[in-house]
Chains A and B, each alone.
Chain A
Amino acid sequence: MSRSEPEEQHPSAAAAALRRGEPALAASFRLHRPRGAFCHAGWCQQCRVTLTDGRIALACRTSEPLARGRGRWRRLLGRCAEGLPPWFHEHRLLAPPSLRQFYLERLRRLSAAPALPQGALPISGRWRRRRTRLLIVGGGLAGLADARRAAEDGRDLLLLEAEPRLGGRARFQPGCAAALDDAVSKAVQLPHLAGTLCLGLYEQAREALAIGPEGPVLISFDELVVATGAYDRLPGFAGNDLPGIVGLRAFERLAAVGAIPKEWRVGLFADAGSAVEALATGQRFAWIAGPGDLPAADVARHPEATLVGAEGRGRVAAARLDRGGALACDLLVLGFTQPSYELQMQAGQRAGLAGAPPVVLTEGEAVIPLRVVGEAAWQPAAPARMATRPAPDSFLCFCEDVRRRDALAAIADGFADVELLKRRTGAGTGPCQGKLCHGEMLACLAEAGRPLALPTVRPLLRPVPLAALAAGEPSP
């Protein structure tokens, strides 16, 4: 069993586009800036595309052909809007008021949102209910190990894995092949639902909603194990939204399916630990750089460096360091990890910040018996693990095109609470629901000396089509 079989047979549309040398896939919502897949795992929601039949999909989650992009005038329009803050409409008071109506009617047609597809999706099946003592969310090595231990103790358990196959990140890490085969072969007979995404916790976190191939399922449980791993995050630096910048986990996936063109110059900016993981893929790098020491490798190394910015037109062409100047690259890999925190927050824990740039960590008592295992429980090592220089025009929220300077302006204007900041800027309200921006929002508030808190982490943890939720009512 090859660990990357399905991907090799059906590479994602995002991986296929990269292989063709086209990292830009979509346009950003407000400014129509080119965006590519960053996480390649369904978290960042930046590669939302329209398929040839009109349906909307994430390029990293489909292998179907993509429709051609829309006209160039929208890019120009976006460029005109570059300097405007998210609340740009506030001081446009056209007179007479009928002109305002005209303005709004035009404005609402100017976003990069896709068209609503024609036709309806089929609705079938029913909501189901399940009950288990122990619910384990995440079928990577940590979740599988926990499930095995629980099964050996004779416990009643159910494991959920969002992807169609068990194994999580290890599926894409060559060094983990043996451990993966062992874990998966022992886990297949344990009660688990693959391809089933946990959407959130309800009823004082006593119930989880998940959605899988057979539709929505409500799972009541006594104890929760969060083994949802971590995801790639984009720290703040100038040009951080350029297509061709990918996370370390995304890079592992792309390397596993051979999606990276041989002739490409790949640059890596990471701390020592992440750099070791990136090198373990066997991919060749043009250069590696990082804030501290770096592992020995047969490439140009730039230790003790700060990432000042990414440069390029429409896609990344170089990374600029504080020392060493601009280093050319066609793909820039960033080793910046955000442990997933959503379920912990819904289970009643509080948010904290650690590291530089800061990642969101959870702490404090949960309202249910809760354990966090694997990369979800990972803590950044002190002190600087990913030195980037946050620029005022670096993007903080990618879904809503909110820049760091917008957040700082809003805070200075009295929106100095995370909930107010979210409502003022729109940061965290787009399809990724804050996964890319919560850490940066908190960092901006911390800089202003404001107390740390996350906005309420509401379900759903990932977008789901309305039709998939419309299955018949569950039996009571």
Chain B
Amino acid sequence: MTLSADVAIVGGGITGLALAVELARLGRREILVLERRFSGAGGSGRNVGRIRAMQLTEELARFAIAAQAKHARLADELGANTLFWRAGYGWVLYEEAEMTRMAEVRDMLRGLGLRPELIGRAETLRRLPVLEGGERPAGALLHRDAIVHHDAVLHAYRAAARKLGVRLMEGIEALAVLANAGKVEGLRSGAGDILAPVVVNAAGGWSGAFSAKAGVRIPNTPLRREALVTEAAQPFMRAAITFYRPREGWFNQTLRGELVAGCLAPAEEPGVNLAATALSLGRTARTILAKAPRLGQLRVVRQWAGVYDMTPDRKPLVGPVARLQGFVQANGCNGRGFLLGPLIGELLARWLDSGERPPLLAGFDADRFDGREDAKVEAGDYYAGYAAGGQRG
């Protein structure tokens, strides 16, 4: 069987679906999305929907602010409620040195138009009472950030894709990229060959491996991150909390009332591994309860692992590849894919349609690692990699 498409997108996660829908909204037809299992089987279905504008570097923060604004208007664009909820976000700090560093991050974010607040110990406990009885915080950086429900977003995209005539093929794997004379001709898939002049790599954690199939090596490295979820309780906290000391951890209460939580595994080996570990249960419980002991009463119902698509400079790869005409990257979101996917989809669709790169994508050149394909991804403490003022140290 041979199919043909104008654009073939590999990966039925949020980036792939967003790109497909945006292309169709621009009037493009014959858009095909190929998904190995089902849409949301990878990172898009394994995240907790925290979409944070408050990023550590100016370049990322600028893009994240636009990406969050995209999420805010997504419901109206797609005609379905995505449960976009301004729950708020708190970076809780436990060392005085962090307060100094965060003052500079706050100033940088203010320069971009956000209104984050850096507050002291007493105010932190007043505003985030879930921390009572835990380790004494030094302060917190708070911002009115948002949380979405990942399934609500994916289902809204699915419905829009169907309405716009996008072809979503689930349970079908992209096996190889067909190319001739430096030009993409299509894909070899589990359902036969698909002829397409443009192939987009939106495979999330599998992007590095898929790009290699096209003969385009990129340094993207999959990294497992684990999470757990408890049974629901009545509202006990609102703002999502993240902290980095002594070890990175995060937790928040979902709209439904469950606690979701996770923490960094310091010795995590790179690679696609979606198996949850027993030790992460203990590590997460210890890390979270040291900060918010009252949460120990909640019963854990499930744990799972997701995958980050990491790049050496923590920035995505978006756009056509010079070495292979018709091959396009839309990946490398470093654990922020659910935030960035919709905006990447919109901007890349405009780029593919008009041939002109939108200025916001300037820093995310898909060819910037040419010649440095073996650049290493630091898997550990990424917060420590940033010097004061949001510059990479």
Question: A380 an interface residue at 8 Å Cβ cutoff?
Answer: no
- Give the residue name and chain of the A residue nearest to B301 (CB): A463
Question: B299 an interface residue at 8 Å Cβ cutoff?
Answer: yes
Q: Which one of B37, B85, B162, B299 has the greatest number of beta carbons of chain A within 10 Å? A: B299
Interface of B is mostly: mixed
| Residues of chain B having any CB pair with chain A under 8 Å | 37-41, 45, 72, 75-76, 79-81, 83-86, 133, 151-152, 154-156, 158, 162, 170-171, 230-236, 255-257, 259, 275-279, 281-283, 285-286, 288-289, 293-304
- What are 8 residue pairs bridging A and B, where the CB atoms are less than 8 Å apart in the complex? A93-B75, A108-B256, A114-B234, A200-B278, A417-B170, A433-B301, A458-B304, A460-B302
- Indicate if the CB atoms of A431 and B231 lie closer than 8 Å: yes
B266: shortest Cβ distance to chain A, in Å? 12
Q: A111-B257, A424-B151, A466-B230 are in contact. Are A56 and B299 (CB under 8 A)?
A: yes
Additional pairs, 13, CB under 8 Å, beyond known A90-B80, A216-B282? A56-B233, A109-B235, A113-B233, A114-B233, A127-B282, A200-B278, A216-B278, A417-B38, A423-B151, A430-B231, A460-B300, A466-B259, A473-B282
Q: A93-B75, A100-B81, A459-B302 are in contact. Are A113 and B257 (CB under 8 A)?
A: yes
- Indicate if the CB atoms of B232 and A29 lie closer than 8 Å: yes
- Give the residue name and chain of the A residue nearest to B86 (CB): A101
- Give the residue name and chain of the A residue nearest to B156 (CB): A90
Question: A107 an interface residue at 8 Å Cβ cutoff?
Answer: yes
Q: A116-B234, A116-B236 are in contact. Are A202 and B285 (CB under 8 A)?
A: no
- Taking a contact as CB atoms closer than 8 A, the residue among B75, B235, B255, B304 that contacts A97 in the complex is B75
- Indicate if the CB atoms of B304 and A414 lie closer than 8 Å: no
Contact residues in B for A470 (Cβ distance below 8 Å)? 282, 285-286, 289, 296
A336: shortest Cβ distance to chain B, in Å? 24
- Taking a contact as CB atoms closer than 8 A, the residue among B85, B282, B300 that contacts A104 in the complex is B85
Q: A107-B255, A467-B285 are in contact. Are A93 and B79 (CB under 8 A)?
A: yes
Q: A90-B156, A460-B302 are in contact. Are A471 and B282 (CB under 8 A)?
A: yes
- Taking a contact as CB atoms closer than 8 A, the residue among B80, B233, B286, B303 that contacts A91 in the complex is B80
- Indicate if the CB atoms of A120 and B297 lie closer than 8 Å: yes
Contact residues in B for A460 (Cβ distance below 8 Å)? 281, 300-303
- Taking a contact as CB atoms closer than 8 A, the residue among B40, B83, B133, B297 that contacts A56 in the complex is B297
Q: Which one of A89, A101, A116 has the greatest number of beta carbons of chain B within 10 Å? A: A116
**Restricting to A402-423, which residues have a CB under 8 Å from any CB of B?**
414, 417, 419-420, 423
**Restricting to A172-208, which residues have a CB under 8 Å from any CB of B?**
200, 202-204, 207
Q: A459-B276, A471-B282, A473-B282 are in contact. Are A111 and B232 (CB under 8 A)?
A: yes
Question: A356 an interface residue at 8 Å Cβ cutoff?
Answer: no
Q: How many angstroms between the C-alpha atoms of A108 and B286 in the bound complex?
A: 27
Question: A118 an interface residue at 8 Å Cβ cutoff?
Answer: yes
Q: How many angstroms between the C-alpha atoms of A470 and B280 in the bound complex?
A: 10
Q: How many angstroms between the C-alpha atoms of A332 and B165 in the bound complex?
A: 51
- Give the residue name and chain of the A residue nearest to B229 (CB): A429
A445: shortest Cβ distance to chain B, in Å? 13
Q: How many angstroms between the C-alpha atoms of A147 and B239 in the bound complex?
A: 51
Q: How many angstroms between the C-alpha atoms of A6 and B19 in the bound complex?
A: 62
Contact residues in B for A91 (Cβ distance below 8 Å)? 80-81
Q: Which one of B152, B158, B286, B297 has the greatest number of beta carbons of chain A within 10 Å? A: B297
Contact residues in A for B158 (Cβ distance below 8 Å)? 414
Q: How many angstroms between the C-alpha atoms of A457 and B164 in the bound complex?
A: 35
Q: How many angstroms between the C-alpha atoms of A89 and B149 in the bound complex?
A: 11
Q: A93-B80, A100-B75, A123-B289 are in contact. Are A218 and B278 (CB under 8 A)?
A: yes
- Indicate if the CB atoms of B231 and A90 lie closer than 8 Å: no
Question: A469 an interface residue at 8 Å Cβ cutoff?
Answer: yes
Q: How many angstroms between the C-alpha atoms of A218 and B156 in the bound complex?
A: 42
Q: How many angstroms between the C-alpha atoms of A110 and B25 in the bound complex?
A: 37
- Give the residue name and chain of the B residue nearest to A89 (CB): B81
Question: A465 an interface residue at 8 Å Cβ cutoff?
Answer: yes
Question: A55 an interface residue at 8 Å Cβ cutoff?
Answer: yes
Q: How many angstroms between the C-alpha atoms of A115 and B298 in the bound complex?
A: 10
Q: A459-B302, A466-B296, A473-B282 are in contact. Are A104 and B83 (CB under 8 A)?
A: yes
Q: How many angstroms between the C-alpha atoms of A109 and B256 in the bound complex?
A: 9
Q: How many angstroms between the C-alpha atoms of A294 and B285 in the bound complex?
A: 51
Contact residues in B for A69 (Cβ distance below 8 Å)? none
Contact residues in B for A203 (Cβ distance below 8 Å)? 275, 277-278
Q: How many angstroms between the C-alpha atoms of A119 and B133 in the bound complex?
A: 9
Q: A109-B235, A463-B231 are in contact. Are A116 and B297 (CB under 8 A)?
A: yes
B248: shortest Cβ distance to chain A, in Å? 17
- Taking a contact as CB atoms closer than 8 A, the residue among B38, B233, B293, B301 that contacts A430 in the complex is B301
- Indicate if the CB atoms of A466 and B152 lie closer than 8 Å: no
Q: A90-B152, A417-B170, A460-B303 are in contact. Are A465 and B298 (CB under 8 A)?
A: yes
B260: shortest Cβ distance to chain A, in Å? 12
- Give the residue name and chain of the A residue nearest to B298 (CB): A466
Q: Which one of B45, B231, B278, B298 has the greatest number of beta carbons of chain A within 10 Å? A: B278
- Indicate if the CB atoms of B297 and A115 lie closer than 8 Å: no
Q: How many angstroms between the C-alpha atoms of A92 and B235 in the bound complex?
A: 22
A364: shortest Cβ distance to chain B, in Å? 19
- Give the residue name and chain of the A residue nearest to B134 (CB): A120
A47: shortest Cβ distance to chain B, in Å? 13
B56: shortest Cβ distance to chain A, in Å? 27
- Indicate if the CB atoms of B257 and A466 lie closer than 8 Å: no
Contact residues in A for B75 (Cβ distance below 8 Å)? 93, 97, 100
- Indicate if the CB atoms of B298 and A209 lie closer than 8 Å: no
- Taking a contact as CB atoms closer than 8 A, the residue among B79, B81, B285, B304 that contacts A466 in the complex is B285
B324: shortest Cβ distance to chain A, in Å? 33
Q: How many angstroms between the C-alpha atoms of A109 and B232 in the bound complex?
A: 11
Q: How many angstroms between the C-alpha atoms of A423 and B282 in the bound complex?
A: 27
